[in-house]
Structure 1
């Protein structure tokens, strides 16, 4: 395919005319949704919530049967596919297109599994979710839309480099104070798994902690509903305004106890019924599912459940945010349910993690910045022999669908970053243009399409990823190599160029933890060490 010429202005450019009534979305396996919690679960921050200052009290799945769409490794005479699987040579192609995604559940679940003394199932390891679990230092755009950062560094493998594509949206004033952006009220329907499997420590107790943390931070004009499910679903609290009822919400949460079987279908269906019935125009309407996702009664496939709630999703725009818990957690089920349900997933294993999710990550979704956001990276065949996108296996979009605005992308809120990492084999003597990255999105209000681009020259590559690259690029490399090492254990995935043994990777992570003074990087170093002991 011909690569497109893109300009790199500081302000987003409009790319075409706004569409009127949007046609039904065309969903493709090649581009499963990488939706975020559009607009987010809107909080005011964890230290000054408008209400009581209540003190906070946090599986194994079968083989992943999801179709993995083929995508190109870039260039002719190639060794494999860009999702890392060994295969025959695909046709030459210097474009890479994917829907944006900042899910982090895969990394959170891997950390929990390693802490329990076990290696995660390779099928649950999604490298992009490892990479997107860490803070980045991309510049924010001056207005709505995205900034685009493209950088990279050479690896220890001859002629191979890591190229990082970083996208960032502008932060917003969460409280809506004078001079800042006023965020709309939130209408949140919690759907809580109270089945027997949730009795294990770190499941329902952690869910109660998480919900109480969130309740303390909600604004007076926000509202909450609570639905529980085991063998059947029950509405424990109709949609209730927080003002004057914060203590009532806490009492409902504290009274949650476990019952019997797990009918996720009943819970999600009831949750959407409640959300639709109490839909607040102009508010951020969300269903928040808290579960180990071990469905055993009712419909047990994500597709069947999503069919039951299709109208609520498409007509009312209510999205699903999945929070996974438990040492035995059905990662594939929750990921499919959230991704195909225009949602987002994360995983929480302890109170510290719950606080980060509900007090740091979700407040970043104060304002929706972009709908159906997709990225396309064009590599220059004069300087690039081949390339490989690390991860995003289920987020691929056909190259010719990049500007087809009926094809799903990701919904991205304020203050978010999205990172994609490529392994790129350079041609000998590569000089000049290396790659152009373009992000396309629809304006949340008008649905007008916009694009923004960033370029990189071969001369801009740092000399060595471990000694010369900026710290945050090195952290990105550690996360990607770590995910690759965990996934390669089943023999079906090939090595990422420049990879180092887990012991050496742990050393890099330890050094970076000290250099960045970032607790999340310290946790990464510990996880790599645990994996090294289990594989050594």
Structure 2
């Protein structure tokens, strides 16, 4: 997100990832803080201004209409109390960090993105009855100097496996270079594709492109019902070859996807690779241009699946970002099964396109705030309702979580924050908005975060504090890693969740590598000032 103390608002960062439903969620649903004190509205144009004079998401204009085609709103006033970002739930950062820690090494801090740690877990937010979003705003005190953690949770209605959905046209681009010969790379990819072939519907389509030093089309776009046996034969025959020319693979993959484009279908390129490009255009610029062109012309999105102990995280991120897609990382058959069997076939149905969120903090109640993560998903505040500015693609059954560190003014009471999500209908591209509001002292923002009954919120906080510690620390109220591991373990005991147990184990490994920490590094007061929500 832009620094608001700059002369002009910075345009959105490099990533505008779209969202493919719950593809990337680690799959936990535990109860937690309720959404008491929350108000919601659902309007096609504009959003109700919160009571009490708080800074509304549209800069205080209240229920003004959305701009007509080609129009631009004037920049919102008081941008220092607005926070705007595109929705996204990549989880590759968390998956790769767990892999590194399991191998006894710390992940590169540059690959640690807190929002991907947070969104690797799926809180039990209320689900809407329609095709829009539910908006949940809750939080609790950290116990340090007036700081609280405020959570904004968005959720879509789940997919009905018995209902009709648009067909999927999936082009798989598979890395068969020499680096993919390591166990847990091509063998895992082949197993994943074999499992997926049995899960897709007869009216879905699939194509397969491989690449090493050159690219080759192994299977043109083919209806699944006509070729399940053929698909398995092609997958079983995959073998590693030479160097890694991602450029050739992506270009050929998009050629095949465009040739096999199906109107009314979910058209997607799925890149499976360790992303260690060493041949062709390894800087990605020409690849990015091609991906962006086909996304705009045909709506073809890119989903990146990373594998391998050495993984080109930044390269894969850039490709997926430009393709309105997202990334995940798999290192075990169980993780691959979750992505390709449990999630992908059930969640190709879209609920929203170009989805963005904007959170307005009340300047009378809030002294300082900071969004934890989402640095690369920032949207200029004035572009929130500009539907020409790209947002995220959100599927059925999906959740998105954003966590803020918020310092309230001593003794202040009343409205604290209003969160608004805006999206376009996937079929008609009509804009919609929905909001939720929380007040200081409401049941949804009460008590200590480590108190009883806050398992869901605690899990969000643990994931965020863990990621922040791997990046150097500094968030207010952060426990030491040993305490975080214990708290995650206690939630795993209460919920019986294997994925939370994995989180606890990963934190404990990090604690051993980083050494003892006493509540993390101090939160530097100079990072945030009134009207300066970002460091």
1:518 shift after superposition: 1.4
SS in 1 for 2:99: helix
Gaps of 5+ in 2: 1-9, 25-77, 516-535
* 1:434-464 Cα shifts (integer Å, max 9, x gaps): 1100001111111111110000011122311
- 1:272/1:280 CA distance change after superposition, 3 Å: same
Cα contact 1:159–1:428 (8 A) shared by 2: yes
Q: 2:112 aligns with which of 125, 128, 142?
A: 125
Aligned to 1:430: 412
Is 2:378 the counterpart of 1:393? no
Aligned to 2:307: 325
Is 2:476 the counterpart of 1:533? no
* 1:98-151 Cα shifts (integer Å, max 9, x gaps): 010111100000011111111000000000000000021110111111110000
Cα contact 1:38–1:319 (8 A) shared by 2: no
Is 2:460 the counterpart of 1:470? no
SS in 1 for 2:411: coil
Q: Distance in 2 between matches of 1:322 and 1:245?
A: 25
Q: Distance in 2 between matches of 1:316 and 1:38?
A: 20
Q: 2:401 aligns with which of 411, 419, 436?
A: 419
Aligned to 1:482: 466
Aligned to 2:520: none
Cα contact 2:79–2:381 (8 A) shared by 1: no
RMSD of aligned Cα (Å): 1.7
Cα contact 2:14–2:321 (8 A) shared by 1: no
Is 2:348 the counterpart of 1:366? yes
SS in 2 for 1:190: strand
With 213-222 and 95-104 compared, the bigger mean Cα shift is at 213-222
Q: Distance in 1 between matches of 2:347 and 2:317?
A: 19
Aligned to 1:19: none
1:30 shift after superposition: 3.5
Cα contact 1:334–1:345 (8 A) shared by 2: yes
Q: Distance in 2 between matches of 1:31 and 1:343?
A: 13
1:204 shift after superposition: 0.4
Q: Distance in 1 between matches of 2:180 and 2:15?
A: 29
Cα contact 1:40–1:363 (8 A) shared by 2: no
Aligned to 1:516: 495
Q: Distance in 1 between matches of 2:124 and 2:364?
A: 30
Q: Distance in 1 between matches of 2:343 and 2:421?
A: 22
Q: 1:173 aligns with which of 148, 154, 160?
A: 160
SS in 1 for 2:376: coil
Is 2:184 the counterpart of 1:202? yes
Q: 1:313 aligns with which of 286, 295, 305?
A: 295
Is 2:210 the counterpart of 1:228? yes
Matches within 5 A, 1:15-30: 28-30=11-13
- 1:300/1:172 CA distance change after superposition, 3 Å: same
Q: Distance in 2 between matches of 1:535 and 1:117?
A: 11
TM-score normalised over the length of structure 1: 0.82
1:97 shift after superposition: 0.5
1:531 shift after superposition: 0.6
* 1:167-193 Cα shifts (integer Å, max 9, x gaps): 0011121232xxxxx111211111000
Is 2:62 the counterpart of 1:109? no
Cα contact 1:128–1:480 (8 A) shared by 2: yes
* 1:239-265 Cα shifts (integer Å, max 9, x gaps): 222114212111111111101110001
Is 2:87 the counterpart of 1:100? yes
Q: Distance in 2 between matches of 1:308 and 1:284?
A: 19
SS in 2 for 1:189: strand
* 1:189-226 Cα shifts (integer Å, max 9, x gaps): 11000000000111101111111111111111112111
Q: Distance in 2 between matches of 1:40 and 1:285?
A: 15
With 92-101 and 348-357 compared, the bigger mean Cα shift is at 92-101
1:303 shift after superposition: 2.7
Matches within 5 A, 1:77-476: 93-176=80-163, 182-460=164-442, 461-476=445-460
Cα contact 1:39–1:366 (8 A) shared by 2: no
- 1:38/1:282 CA distance change after superposition, 3 Å: farther
Aligned to 2:528: none
- 1:497/1:325 CA distance change after superposition, 3 Å: same
SS in 2 for 1:156: strand
SS in 2 for 1:388: strand
Q: Distance in 1 between matches of 2:466 and 2:456?
A: 15
Q: Distance in 1 between matches of 2:253 and 2:108?
A: 31
Q: Distance in 2 between matches of 1:283 and 1:399?
A: 32
Q: Distance in 2 between matches of 1:111 and 1:507?
A: 17
Gaps of 5+ in 1: 1-26, 42-90, 177-181, 489-493
Cα contact 2:15–2:318 (8 A) shared by 1: no
Cα contact 2:212–2:244 (8 A) shared by 1: yes
* 1:350-402 Cα shifts (integer Å, max 9, x gaps): 00110111123324523211111110001111111000000001011111111
Q: Distance in 2 between matches of 1:501 and 1:173?
A: 42
* 1:146-174 Cα shifts (integer Å, max 9, x gaps): 11000001002120000000000111212
SS in 2 for 1:321: strand
